[in-house]
Structure 1
Amino acid sequence: MKRVIVGDSREKVLSTLEVILKHWGYRVVVSSSPEQIEALLLETSPDLLFMGAHLLQSGPTKLTQTVGDKTLGEKCPLVVLKENGRPFPANFPCESLDVPIGLFELYAMIQKYLEKTPRKNLRLDLKLPGVLYRDGAPHLSEILSLSEQGLFIRSAFRLAQNEPLQVIFPLMGMKKELEIEGRVLYNVLPAPENNYLQGSGVEFQHLTDQDHLCLQRFIERCFLGEMTPSERSRMDLTDDQVQDLDQDVSLKLISSH
């Protein structure tokens, strides 16, 4: 299991990152104490390090020296969590994330550094009713997974690779449905090794900016919905807040204070 260390003095940053990264299956250790972070870095070999910019201010400190040893000597990737008015640690090879942190930006960073075969898009398993149009005729279908760029759909017939089609499906809880053009990328035939899964992978085409935004908000909503109540509470999210999310609310939950 990949290990991630998160150092930041902002408690909401720590708790939210800890919940999301653990939910994705990583081993996460968080701390707001520079001394404890230094000790963790000396005792362990993390696969990825998140550090608040305020902990890496210019000027030699034991922590900055230890972080430098990890990033330069041991080639541990470093992601700096930005903070207004704080100097950026230009002496370190690193990338950065804005705070508040967006779900999709965080997912892309995690995939880049922790996965051997990174996924380009956050994909969620779900079950949505849909209407599939091919050659102008509607067919009832079921959407089994969804991302920003495509979906996996099960229908009563096999689709041809590269076949153009149109899919209509509801964004549950947002009082909206999307009508999207796409093309078939691949087909999956039922077999024992895939638990007799059957369906087709569809890539979206000609997605408008508004539809893309709605799709992102819906995926964020589904992501929050699959978390347990205890996980939500650690992120300061109640069930009512999850239910009340709409297309104008993003998952930029992490306060900068």
Structure 2
Amino acid sequence: MKRILICDKREKLLSTLEVILKHWGYRALATSRPDELSAFLRESSLDLLLLGSTFLADGSQALRDTLACRLTDTGCPLIVLQEDSTCPELELPYETLSVPLNIFALFEFTQKHLEKIPRRNLRLETKLPGMLCQGETSHLAEVLSLSAHGLFIKTASRLEKEDRLKVTFPLIGMKKELEIDGRELYRVQPGPENNYLQGIGIEFNEMGEEALRDLEAFIQSRFLGEVSESPRGHQGLDQGQIHGEVSKASLRLVWEK
């Protein structure tokens, strides 16, 4: 199991990150104390370090030296959690993640640094009624998996392979419905190995900004609700640490010399 160390003086942020990362299947260790950070760096094997910018600003030079030495030796990636545009001065490469957190950016970082075959998008398992349209023909269907860039839709209808498709589904709880153009990426044929599931994986074509914001807001809301339903989520998840306006993740590599 991949190990992630989270160091920040903001207790609510610590607990929220810990809950989300554990939900994704990682071993998350959290601390708000500089001495514990130094001990972890000396004694533990880490796969990723999330470090608060205020933690760095208030830290001693000895802590910075230990950080630079250990991360250089191990090659452990560093992500700095920051609340403004100020970048800390460190003699090693790092990336930045803004606080409040963008869930999609956090997912992109963890996949990038921790998975051999990274997933491009945060996917939500769901069951939404839908309509799949090919030309003048429409088929009732069910959306089983959804991301901001595509979905998997279950259908019992025999469909001809076409480059252009249109899918319609409701954003339940938001009183909105999306109608999105897309193209077929893959097809699942029914068989005993997949419990006779039949459906199509669809990649969305470029959609309008408002539709993308609505879709990301729906996915984020459902994801946070899913996390909150777990026992640990009730204790540790603080949705105030999550950015309310979701948008495209912006990753930035910084190396101060």
Q: Considering the TM-score relative to the shorter chain, is it more than 0.5?
A: yes
Structure 1 residue aligned with 2:236: 234
Render the CA deviation track for 1:49-104: whole Å, top value 9, x for unaligned.
Answer: 01111222398633212211222111000001114486513312111111111100
Structure 1 residue aligned with 2:137: 137
Structure 2 residue aligned with 1:68: 68
Contact 1:3 1:47 in 2 (8 A): yes
Instruction: Quote the Cα distance in structure 1 between the aligned partners of 2:160 and 2:16.
Output: 43
TM-score (norm 1): 0.87
Structure 2 residue aligned with 1:206: 206
Structure 2 residue aligned with 1:196: 196
Equivalent positions of 1:49-68 (< 5 A) are 49-57=49-57, 61-68=61-68
Instruction: Quote the Cα distance in structure 1 between the aligned partners of 2:203 and 2:84.
Output: 38
**One-letter code of the match for 2:63?**
L
Equivalent positions of 1:1-257 (< 5 A) are 1-57=1-57, 61-84=61-84, 88-227=88-227, 228=229, 230=231, 231-236=233-238, 249-250=244-245
> Of the two structures, which has the highest relative contact order with CA contacts closer than 8 Å and spacing of 6 or more?
2
SS at the partner of 1:112? Answer: helix
**One-letter code of the match for 1:211?**
A
**One-letter code of the match for 2:237?**
M
SS at the partner of 1:217? Answer: helix
**One-letter code of the match for 1:217?**
A
Give me the identity figure in percent: 48
Contact 1:124 1:146 in 2 (8 A): yes
TM-score (norm 2): 0.87
Instruction: Quote the Cα distance in structure 2 between the aligned partners of 1:168 and 1:45.
Output: 47
SS at the partner of 2:30? Answer: strand
RMSD: 2.3
SS at the partner of 2:12? Answer: helix
Cα distance 1:65–1:183, how it changes in 2: closer, same or farther (>3 A)? same
- How far off is 1:189 after superposition? 1.5
Unaligned runs of at least 5 residues, structure 2: 248-257
